[in-house]
A = this chain, B = another copy of it.
Amino acid sequence: MLEHLGEFKRTHYCGDVTGKDVGDRVRVAGWVDSTRDHGGVVFVDLRDRTGKVQVVFSPEISEEIVERAKKLRDEFVIAVEGEVRRRPPGTENPKLKTGQVEIYAEKLQILNKSLPLPFPIEDDVKVGEETRLKYRFLDLRRKKMAENIIFRHRLYQITRRVFNEEGFVEIETPYLTKSTPEGARDFLVPSRIYPGKFYALPQSPQLFKQILMVSGFDRYYQIARCFRDEDLRADRQPEFTQIDFEMSFVTERDVMDVAERLLRELYSELLGVEIGEIPVMTYDEAMDRFGTDRPDTRFGLELKEITDIAKECQFKVFRTVAEKGGIVKAINFKGGAKLSRKEIDELTKFVGIYGAKGLAWIKVLSEGLQSPIVKFFSEGEMNRILERLEAEVGDILFFVADKKDVVNQALANLRLKLGKMAGLIDEDKVNVLWVVDFPMFEWNEDENRWEALHHPFTSPKEEDVEILLESPEKVRARAYDMVLNGVEIGGGSIRIHREDIQEKVFKVIGLSDEEAKERFGFLLEALKYGAPPHGGMAFGLDRLCAIMRKEESIRDVIAFPKTQRGQCLLTGAPDTVREEQLEELHIKIESEENEE
């Protein structure tokens, strides 16, 4: 039943056959999207990447072709040759670009069959993601998914055009490299030639791009795959794609200018959205007002600190926290006084996820304040609180008192939740923001040491270099993050280009000279031979693409993603391998099941 393609030459994509082709003989090929038999005439919607066109198999042409067309089923692959005719009046489909015409088939080649599908090729499929991932070859036939992938293709091209126009050189860096664990866990690749040694897959091209600056390339970029063996909470992938770039002889603003141009051109060309001035906010301000360094500024509900008032009040919970160095912050949820007790309990549970031990609240009603805590405050104190929070009748105020981190995390997340609940977030808004002046280090409680907030190659501010060793907590980094609608889509920094400063930073984060040399010796070595001042940035391409396409998950903009547990349901990776393969790599599986 199946035929060979033979010398068939397509003249048109399905979606491109229109009125201009009427009277012409065309050849198209694609998938049977649907078939209908109307009184002995078979109508087929034929689909390819570009769209659909109606093909008519009519006894007017030949009985034989009609008989063969009757055997077509959904997703059969066919090639058709025939004449383009205008559809009879009243049968046009204005929704389709090809809706004015139909192809009267004179030749039909059935190139392949298809089993009945596990789910239909439609935009809103009702199957679980597991099935979609297992049958990814079908899932990607869905218009929305195909468009996501083609959108991503266009995003690549615009990105490269911007960097090319800005004089950047595209350079590939290795994927088989050295394990330098700092931050996430490395994926390892056992070496066959060197028993007991391993390559690592790069978490980013960071060190290589710095080396390229030392080499004098001046401006480098790459759309690079990165690998992190993290626990795949939230929407992460073990391999992901970065738009990575680096520049020499620059300050923060130079790097940010290139990043802004890229974002502007992507939004303008792909979505027709013009991005205005991009404001710059300090880390301290972001934490203060939003409790997070990636604030979603599309809506208000800002956090207000009332630690000063809490310190003096009679409410013991607040006062104790304030006296112990904690803080008290509040959100005025405008118009939220109608929240039920049950809803408030749920919000209390919600902030508990982030470690908050309670969620105090005050409803501002026309008959007065309603709250379990209001009695602990003097009228003066309460008035100062209401004033600071700009409270009006109909509002509800929420308070969290705890260690600074807990308060900020709890309220930042509560703010987002309330914003969504109240429909305050305009999903069509594109709100971009720079966050700068990050602390250079943060204290790692578990390991009892300072660690780099960004990474240890980030340059401290020039004026803070002197206090690096004495007061690491005060040192600010020359780092900048780009935040889009509350999501960090990119980040970077001016790097350290001087060996002496790099050595000091390694010291602060607790690396001995030996360890530093063992792990990053090649970088330290490179800094000895004329390293220029340099800085750069990386965008998370998957995330950016998902946001631009308004997809919830980055998996919907990756052709072959893995599950949250790191599996490829299409191929079955990871999988067992043959014993000989392991022997050649000089490794053995170490697990209890194996020790029979």
Contact partner of A575 among B149, B179, B567, CB < 8 A? B179
**Contact, CB under 8 Å: A187 / B185:** no
Of A186, A574, A576, most buried by chain B (CB within 10 Å of CB) is: A574
Q: Which chain B residue shows the least CB distance to A580?
A: B181
- Separation of A186 and B176 alpha carbons in the complex (Å): 13
Q: Which chain B residue shows the least CB distance to A170?
A: B153
Contact A216/B140 with A31-B530, A178-B568, A571-B522 known, Cβ cut-off 8 Å: yes
**Contact, CB under 8 Å: B581 / A590:** no
**Contact, CB under 8 Å: A170 / B156:** yes
Q: Is A342 an interface residue (CB 8 A)?
A: no
Q: List which A530-583 residues lie within 8 A (CB) of chain B.
A: 530-533, 558-560, 562, 565-568, 570-578, 581-583
Q: List which A165-215 residues lie within 8 A (CB) of chain B.
A: 169-179, 181, 185-201, 207-208, 211-212, 214-215
**Contact, CB under 8 Å: A574 / B173:** no
Q: List which A98-141 residues lie within 8 A (CB) of chain B.
A: 111-115, 117, 135-138, 140-141
- A525 partner residues in chain B, CB cutoff 8 A: 135
* Minimum Cβ distance to chain B for residue A239 (Å): 5
Task: Spot the interface stretch: A1-9, A60-68, A469-477.
Answer: A1-9
Task: Spot the interface stretch: A73-81, A267-275, A439-447.
Answer: A73-81
**Contact, CB under 8 Å: B574 / A191:** yes
- Separation of A197 and B594 alpha carbons in the complex (Å): 13
**Contact, CB under 8 Å: A574 / B218:** no
Q: Is A337 an interface residue (CB 8 A)?
A: no
Q: Is A49 an interface residue (CB 8 A)?
A: yes
Contact A532/B77 with A169-B150, A225-B175 known, Cβ cut-off 8 Å: yes
- Separation of A559 and B135 alpha carbons in the complex (Å): 38
Q: List which A196-249 residues lie within 8 A (CB) of chain B.
A: 196-201, 207-208, 211-212, 214-218, 225, 227, 229, 238-239, 241, 248-249
Q: Is A329 an interface residue (CB 8 A)?
A: no
Contact partner of A574 among B75, B197, B588, CB < 8 A? B197
Q: Is A157 an interface residue (CB 8 A)?
A: yes
**Contact, CB under 8 Å: B185 / A584:** yes
Q: Which chain B residue shows the least CB distance to A567?
A: B194
- A571 partner residues in chain B, CB cutoff 8 A: 177-178, 207, 522
- Separation of A194 and B572 alpha carbons in the complex (Å): 12
**Contact, CB under 8 Å: A179 / B530:** no
- A216 partner residues in chain B, CB cutoff 8 A: 30-31, 47-49, 140-141, 146
- A596 partner residues in chain B, CB cutoff 8 A: none
**Contact, CB under 8 Å: B156 / A212:** no
Contact A530/B114 with A175-B239, A176-B239 known, Cβ cut-off 8 Å: yes
Q: Which chain B residue shows the least CB distance to A196?
A: B589
**Contact, CB under 8 Å: A5 / B251:** yes
**Contact, CB under 8 Å: A573 / B200:** yes
Contact A201/B189 with A175-B239, A216-B49, A562-B176 known, Cβ cut-off 8 Å: yes
**Contact, CB under 8 Å: A157 / B160:** yes
**Contact, CB under 8 Å: B185 / A170:** no
**Contact, CB under 8 Å: B533 / A171:** no
- Separation of A157 and B163 alpha carbons in the complex (Å): 11
**Contact, CB under 8 Å: A212 / B140:** yes
Q: Is A317 an interface residue (CB 8 A)?
A: no
Of A172, A175, A581, A586, most buried by chain B (CB within 10 Å of CB) is: A172
* Minimum Cβ distance to chain B for residue A202 (Å): 10
* Minimum Cβ distance to chain B for residue A337 (Å): 47
* Minimum Cβ distance to chain B for residue A527 (Å): 8
Contact partner of A528 among B115, B149, B152, CB < 8 A? B115
**Contact, CB under 8 Å: A591 / B195:** yes
- Separation of A10 and B578 alpha carbons in the complex (Å): 58
**Contact, CB under 8 Å: B177 / A175:** no
A-B contact pairs, 28 of them (CB 8 A): A4-B462, A5-B249, A5-B251, A47-B216, A48-B216, A111-B497, A111-B533, A112-B530, A114-B528, A115-B529, A140-B212, A140-B215, A141-B216, A146-B215, A146-B217, A152-B171, A160-B160, A176-B573, A178-B574, A179-B575, A181-B578, A187-B189, A189-B189, A199-B574, A522-B570, A583-B590, A587-B587, A588-B589
